[in-house]
């Protein structure tokens, strides 16, 4: 589905980023893993090569405008093009406190971080994709962008802002045959961060982890939350030519937790 395409994944060493990278590689993409920690990226790249895929690790600070621009120029020099850009870096959100009791700095942290890195990486890719008149820019948000939850701090606001950025970019880049889409997930219980939180909650309540997973799954139409593999599969579909007429779309990957 992605044969011959060059895909850069920011945050490629993380749980979600590596899952998406492996899915892209399985479908034939040459994956460029981007992030701050070269050793982490190299481990993911080696795993992809061991499975018969193609991957390169290229460290970059995705919050630094000059670094992102140099990084993208290096990708073009090395591979000749960029076909897919997906920013999955951690926005370092702070949750668990009501907004009325939260310091402004804690509220603003995920918003400022998300908007800066998403804007820098998406526009760096957009400039190259517009010239080649093809490409796909992807982003990931959570269900709280549409259905706010208590004590999520600035995270839900950051997710809503990412979705708005994707829609505006889609409108601007459409005439250049560049698509922009966003995956809105309900959260993957096998992602280390969420899995750790579930483990802690299950321990506090003195119940098996499976019981807690079932409780959260009951809030969805499918009776489960989407695993990381489903995020990768959705990303492959949206990045492929099978979704050639899909842009400005917020792809619902909530297992029916949200009805729209």
| Residues 153 and 106 sit within 8 Å (Cβ to Cβ) | yes
pLDDT-derived band at 167 (thresholds 50, 70, 90) equals: very high
Please report whether residue 216 resides in a domain: yes
- Domain, as residue range, for 221: 189-225
Q: What is residue 260's predicted lDDT score, i.e. its pLDDT?
A: 72
Residues 45, 96 share a domain? yes
Mean pLDDT check: name the lowest of 25-29, 50-54, 214-218: 214-218
- Mean pLDDT confidence for 148-154: 90
Residues 178, 214 share a domain? no
Residues 89, 17 share a domain? yes
Please report whether residue 258 resides in a domain: no
pLDDT-derived band at 194 (thresholds 50, 70, 90) equals: confident
151 versus 30: the higher-pLDDT residue is 30
Residues 132, 242 share a domain? yes
Residue 76 has pLDDT above 80, yes or no: yes
Q: How many domains, the chain?
A: 2
Residues 198, 162 share a domain? no
Provide the 3-class DSSP secondary structure of residue 241: helix
Model pLDDT for residues 30-42, shown as the tens digit of each residue: 999 999 999 999 9
Model pLDDT for residues 93-146, shown as the tens digit of each residue: 998 899 999 999 999 999 999 999 999 999 999 999 999 999 999 999 999 999
Residues 76, 197 share a domain? no
Q: What is residue 234's predicted lDDT score, i.e. its pLDDT?
A: 98
CATH of the domain at 154: 3.40.50.720
| Residues 47 and 101 sit within 8 Å (Cβ to Cβ) | no
Residue 221 has pLDDT above 80, yes or no: yes
Q: What is the mean pLDDT of the chain?
A: 96
Please report whether residue 1 resides in a domain: no
| Residues 118 and 182 sit within 8 Å (Cβ to Cβ) | no
Model pLDDT for residues 78-95, shown as the tens digit of each residue: 999 999 999 999 998 998
Please report whether residue 33 resides in a domain: yes
- Percentage, residues of the chain above pLDDT 90: 91
Residues 248, 200 share a domain? no
Residues 210, 165 share a domain? no
Render 82-144 in DSSP notation, one character per residue: --EEEE--------SS-GGGS-HHHHHHHHHHHHHHHHHHHHHHHHHHHHHT-EEEEEEEEGG
Residues 44, 120 share a domain? yes
Residue 68 has pLDDT above 80, yes or no: yes
Residues 173, 143 share a domain? yes
Environment class of 219 (CB within 10 Å of its CB; exposed 0-12, middle 13-18, buried 19+):
middle
Please report whether residue 260 resides in a domain: no
Residue 26 has pLDDT above 80, yes or no: yes
- Percentage, residues of the chain above pLDDT 70: 100
Please report whether residue 122 resides in a domain: yes
CB atoms within 10 A of CB 134: 17
Structure tokens belonging to residue 149: 């939850």
Please report whether residue 177 resides in a domain: yes
- Mean pLDDT confidence for 193-212: 90
Residues 149, 45 share a domain? yes
Q: What is residue 250's predicted lDDT score, i.e. its pLDDT?
A: 97
Q: What is residue 259's predicted lDDT score, i.e. its pLDDT?
A: 81
Residues 182, 68 share a domain? yes
Residue 70 has pLDDT above 80, yes or no: yes
Structure tokens belonging to residue 30: 């040459």
* Whole-number Å distance between alpha carbons of 230 and 228: 5
Please report whether residue 65 resides in a domain: yes
pTM of the model: 0.95
Q: What is residue 149's predicted lDDT score, i.e. its pLDDT?
A: 85
């Amino acid at each position: 589905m992605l044969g011959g395409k060059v895909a850069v994944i920011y945050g490629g060493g993380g749980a979600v980023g590596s899952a998406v990278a492996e899915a892209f590689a399985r479908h034939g993409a040459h994956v460029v893993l981007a992030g701050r920690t070269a050793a982490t990226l190299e481990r993911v790249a080696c795993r992809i090569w061991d499975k018969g895929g193609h991957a390169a690790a290229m460290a970059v600070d995705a919050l630094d405008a000059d670094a992102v621009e140099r990084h993208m120029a290096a990708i073009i020099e090395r591979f000749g093009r960029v076909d897919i850009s997906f920013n999955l870096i951690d926005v370092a959100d702070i949750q668990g406190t009501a907004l009325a009791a939260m310091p402004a700095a804690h509220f603003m942290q995920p918003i400022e971080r998300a908007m800066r890195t998403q804007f820098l990486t998406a526009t760096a890719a957009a400039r190259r994709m517009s010239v080649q008149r093809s490409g796909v820019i992807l982003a990931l948000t959570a269900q709280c962008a549409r259905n706010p939850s208590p004590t999520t701090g600035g995270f839900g606001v950051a997710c809503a802002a990412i979705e708005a950025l994707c829609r505006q970019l889609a409108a601007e880049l459409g005439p250049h045959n560049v698509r922009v889409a966003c995956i809105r997930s309900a959260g993957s219980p096998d992602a280390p961060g969420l899995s750790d939180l579930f483990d802690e909650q299950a321990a506090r309540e003195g119940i098996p982890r499976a019981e807690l997973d079932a409780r959260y799954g009951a809030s969805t139409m499918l009776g489960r939350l989407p695993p990381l593999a489903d995020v990768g599969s959705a990303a492959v579909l949206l990045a492929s030519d099978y979704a050639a007429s899909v842009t400005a779309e917020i792809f619902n990957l909530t297992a029916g937790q949200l009805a729209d």
